[in-house]
Chain A
């Protein structure tokens, strides 16, 4: 299969490989895919006090397109709010990397991975916020 230069660049020089501390309150972790299907993505975001995603890391078991898709989204989410990050579409990923039609599912998985990481972060912060202490300002998600 022939791949675009952008895809090959992300495969050969993947950005933001690694792991964040999943127990950190500001970290949201998404783990999507299945080993039997040949691709698993772990994507983590760290949300700062200002509500912006200050760091993102990934690890992916999968084909070159899956690695490139997850590498690309870690770049894209950095500096965004979680609401902004949530609007990233698989079609944007597929377009940017010029994914061949049989590899579109890799971009879908990358979108799922961000959504899962965001959901995890939200669940964590909701839990943390449950017993609201008096007088404390609670950050409410925009929606």
Chain B
């Protein structure tokens, strides 16, 4: 099995949205298949071989997931995905320890499922500190240290941002949390399998993982819950007490097996894949910069996963650019792609001005991206950005030397 096998059909656009989701690796699918058919047993059945076989599958996968993050397999809880993991982690500890601690620290650039969970807890009477981020997207450690008090139950900071791909200083945050006696939860949906993670070295107490971001199936994720020192949670889903009582419900054996296989492949190929993707990303950025003036990378370029670029193409609105580049599947931070008509809150949090946020594209490279696809993407982007700039009144003004900020625009 060659990892660079083309997954997409030739009539499909080039997929450059690997932070949204990833295809299931054919090797993962192969590992899953028997569990849909003859190994269909309930992993919780103790009285026959069907159950034992399924149990063996999920437990082996649990060990594979644990190994990826330097954890013990007993510390891995299967969930439906990172959204559930984030909910369980934050609500679970907040609820369990509420008599002693009622404060949560997080950042403004977290994924919506963390922010919304925090909002929910605020309504339940918890206090939440939403830390700003610096211009490069990274949290200021001194601000974080100052925000954590003896009332803080959990600090939730994402490992890698889903829009701009920046990597937060996890080990440093973990150290601060440990000193202050607060739990450290990290949403590692975009980080696991892409950068080395070690729950011991980084003092991580809770970590959320998603299957479909690491070439595994959708509908499965995991939550790492530290056993020593023990982190206790109130479950969200009650029932038969599976998953150490943290998450009842029959395990979806094929999905668990897929998550495990996906984790193992990521671990084995991480170094080589990181090098390959860094090369492709640099090729793309250099290709664009060579032909297009006034493009800006959002977020730190060094503290960043290899497979992400988030670029503002000044004077060209993101949605119209996406309409043009029909051969490419990317996503945009522009308001016009969202129902709310608000530009990306992540870019706004970096201090990217609204007019620049409207011009941004998120380009995600991944396991099946080829050099040829990168070159095609560069050509297509250059062609359409140039075309749209020709029709942009803002570009025209900029060329005439008019400062766009000097004009009094009527907000509408």
Binding site for B on A (CB under 8 A): 1, 3, 8, 11, 14, 17, 19, 31-42, 58-67, 102, 105, 108-109
Contact = CB atoms under 8 A, between A and B. Distances in A.
Contacts, number: 91
A66 B411 CA distance: 16
A38 B390 contact: no
Nearest to B409: A34
B252 interface: no
Interface stretch (B106-114, B175-183, B190-198, B350-358): B350-358
B78 interface: no
Contact of B319 (A33, A36, A63): A63
Contacts of B315: 61
B393 A41 contact: yes
A40 B392 CA distance: 8
15 contacts: A1-B337, A3-B323, A11-B320, A17-B391, A19-B396, A31-B407, A35-B409, A38-B335, A58-B391, A60-B391, A64-B320, A64-B323, A102-B341, A105-B412, A109-B412
B393 A59 contact: yes
A31 B412 CA distance: 13
Interface string B307-350: 00000000111011001100000000011110101010000000
Interface string B369-412: 00000000000000000000011111110000000100101111
B341, B343, B393, B411: most-surrounded residue (chain A CB, <10 A): B393
Contact of B339 (A35, A58, A102, A109): A102
Interface of A is mostly: mixed
Given A33-B412, A35-B404, A63-B334, A40 B320 contact: no
A109 B317 CA distance: 16
Given A17-B391, A59-B392, A59-B393, A34 B317 contact: no
Contact of A62 (B317, B353, B409): B317
B393 A63 contact: no
B334 A38 contact: yes
A35 B391 CA distance: 14
B410 A62 contact: no
Nearest to A59: B393
Given A35-B358, A64-B320, A64-B323, 13 more contacts: A11-B320, A17-B390, A34-B411, A35-B354, A36-B354, A36-B411, A37-B335, A39-B317, A40-B394, A59-B391, A60-B392, A62-B336, A63-B320
A1 B338 CA distance: 10
A115 B358 CA distance: 26
Interface residues of B, number: 31
Nearest to A43: B393
The 7 A-B residue pairs with the shortest CB-CB distance, nearest first, are A34-B409, A35-B355, A42-B393, A63-B336, A36-B354, A38-B358, A59-B393
Given A61-B317, A63-B319, A67-B320, A34 B391 contact: no
B409 A63 contact: no
Contacts of A60: 391-393
Contacts of B335: 37-38
Nearest to B336: A63
Contact of B393 (A8, A36, A37, A61): A61
Given A35-B394, A40-B393, A102-B339, A64 B412 contact: no
Contacts of B336: 38, 62-63, 65
B319 A64 contact: yes
A37 B396 contact: no
Contacts of A105: 412
B410 A32 contact: yes
Contacts of B393: 31, 40-42, 59-61
Contacts of B395: 61
B397 to A, nearest CB: 9
A32 B129 CA distance: 39
